[in-house]
């Protein structure tokens, strides 16, 4: 295997970015706004505001980052936030991701690149046509409950009917797999686990249960009381629906997948706290204010903004990616601490 000169160990001859611990970095998460119209307690949302906060990157700047990252071998791009649908130019961002893949990955069949969003789906119905036209390939929807009242409580006022409309629109558009993500909090929505799992009985959804991570400050001090381990969530699913069967899973993906025999969909468990998957982590994140964050759980960030002003910004941004990959920690897991930046401003 050959290496790019000057960055031995970090970029292979087939342009794959490898971190200091030998992990290939291939999945990019771009947080495009810290604003959100929901108030999920575990995420520490700031509010909606009338404008993006000062310092939020423009679409062209995200375009540079996308070209840099795809040039370094990234295979998937997921737009997140905050709520990415609050960003009016989200279709432009999706189109920029496709342009980057089209220009830099001629080996991929046109339009086949994994370009996705993670959304609360409350405004998805009206935004989806433009996103599809821009080339959106897949959607992850956060759905913490099936009961409308529990949903409203968990999301600080979210209207589940609008989320179901968004989910239906994604199904009609044929974007698969449709992943529905639920963060489980004791005393908030843990009673919803069996009903959420049952959504996979007739539909080919991937319902994924996510362990609550201490990435909020609002609930600081109540974390341990709210945390529900994945083993307990799985036990609740099996108590209601019978034993789960294992489904083969991409080892670098955070979810371990299962299904109830004969059911249409999959049930996944993302257990970053009780079963950390840091050794197979393939992700890096960029925040909406232009900070490159090699690890979700570690607060170290690398500023991309000076590189975005360089004469050759794509090459300069790639240099920051290389430095950040070299500094990506083996594991970011720590005891609960107060966070300089909470989940809503990082992008899950």
Task: Report the residue number, 173 or 323, with the smaller CB distance to ligand SAM.
Answer: 173
Contact 238, 244 (CB under 8 A): yes
Residue 247 CB, shortest distance to ligand SF4, in Å, is 26
45 binds, among ligand SAM, ligand SF4, none (CB under 5 to 8 A by kind): ligand SF4
- Contact positions with ligand SAM (CB under 6 A) in 62-91: 80-81, 83
What does 223 bind: ligand SAM, ligand SF4, none (CB cut-off 5 to 8 Å by kind)? none
Q: Which residues pair with 25 in a beta bridge?
A: 17
Site for ligand SAM contains 289 (CB under 6 A): no
Closest by CA position to 18, among listed 7, 27, 9, 29 = 9
Cβ burial of 279 (10 Å; 0-12, 13-18, 19+) is: exposed
- 29: helix, coil or strand? strand
CB of 52 to ligand SAM, least distance (A): 15
SS3 content of the chain, % helix, strand, coil (to 5): 35, 20, 50
Nearer to ligand SF4, 82 or 290 (CB): 82
How far apart are the C-alpha atoms of 124 and 334, rounded to whole Å? 35
Interacting partner of 95 out of ligand SF4, ligand SAM, none (Cβ under 5 to 8 A depending on kind)? none
- 197 HSE (CA, 13 A, CB side): 28
Position 119 contacts ligand SAM (CB under 6 A): yes
Compute how many other C-beta atoms are within 10 angstroms of the C-beta atom of residue 2.
Answer: 9
Q: Contacting ligand SAM (CB under 6 A), which of 120, 189, 266, 318? A: 120
Contact region with ligand SAM (CB under 6 A), list: 20-28, 36-44, 56-64, 239-247: 36-44
Nearer to ligand SAM, 136 or 314 (CB): 136
Interface residue with ligand SAM, options 10, 113, 116, 215 (CB under 6 A): 215
Greatest Cα pair distance, the chain, in angstroms, is 60
Determine the length of the chain.
348
Residues that bind ligand SAM (CB under 6 A): 36, 42-43, 80-81, 83, 118-120, 142, 181, 183, 210, 212-213, 215-216, 343-344, 348
């Amino acid at each position: 295997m050959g290496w790019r000169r000057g960055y031995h160990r970090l970029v292979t001859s087939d342009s794959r970015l490898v971190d200091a611990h030998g992990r290939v970095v291939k999945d990019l998460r771009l947080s495009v706004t810290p604003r959100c119209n929901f108030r999920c307690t575990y995420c520490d949302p700031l509010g909606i505001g009338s404008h993006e906060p000062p310092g939020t990157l423009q679409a062209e700047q995200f375009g540079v980052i996308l070209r840099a990252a795809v040039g370094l071998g990234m295979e998937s791009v997921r737009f997140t936030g905050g709520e990415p649908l609050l960003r009016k130019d989200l279709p432009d961002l999706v189109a920029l991701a496709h342009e980057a893949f089209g220009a830099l990955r001629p080996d991929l069949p046109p339009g086949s690149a994994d370009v996705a969003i993670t959304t609360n789906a409350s405004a998805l119905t009206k935004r989806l046509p433009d996103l599809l036209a821009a080339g959106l390939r897949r959607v992850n929807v956060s759905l913490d409950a099936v009961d409308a009242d529990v949903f409203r409580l968990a999301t600080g006022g979210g209207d589940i009917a609008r989320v179901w409309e968004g989910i239906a629109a994604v199904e009609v558009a044929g974007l698969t797999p449709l992943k529905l993500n639920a963060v489980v909090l004791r005393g908030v929505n843990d009673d919803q686990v069996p009903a959420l799992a049952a959504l996979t009985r007739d539909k080919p959804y991937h319902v994924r249960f996510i362990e609550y991570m201490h990435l909020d400050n609002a609930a600081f001090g109540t974390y341990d009381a709210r945390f529900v381990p994945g083993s307990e969530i799985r036990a609740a699913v099996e108590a209601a629906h019978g034993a789960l069967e294992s489904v083969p899973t991409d080892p670098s993906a955070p979810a371990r997948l299962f299904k109830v025999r004969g059911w249409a969909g999959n049930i996944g468990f993302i257990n970053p706290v009780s079963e950390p998957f840091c050794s197979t982590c393939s992700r890096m994140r960029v925040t909406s204010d232009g900070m490159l964050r090699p690890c979700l759980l570690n607060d170290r960030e690398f500023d991309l903004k000076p590189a975005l002003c360089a004469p050759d910004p794509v090459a300069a941004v790639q240099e920051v990616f290389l430095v950040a990959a070299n500094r990506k920690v083996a594991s970011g897991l720590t005891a609960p601490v107060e966070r300089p930046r909470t989940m809503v401003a990082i992008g899950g």
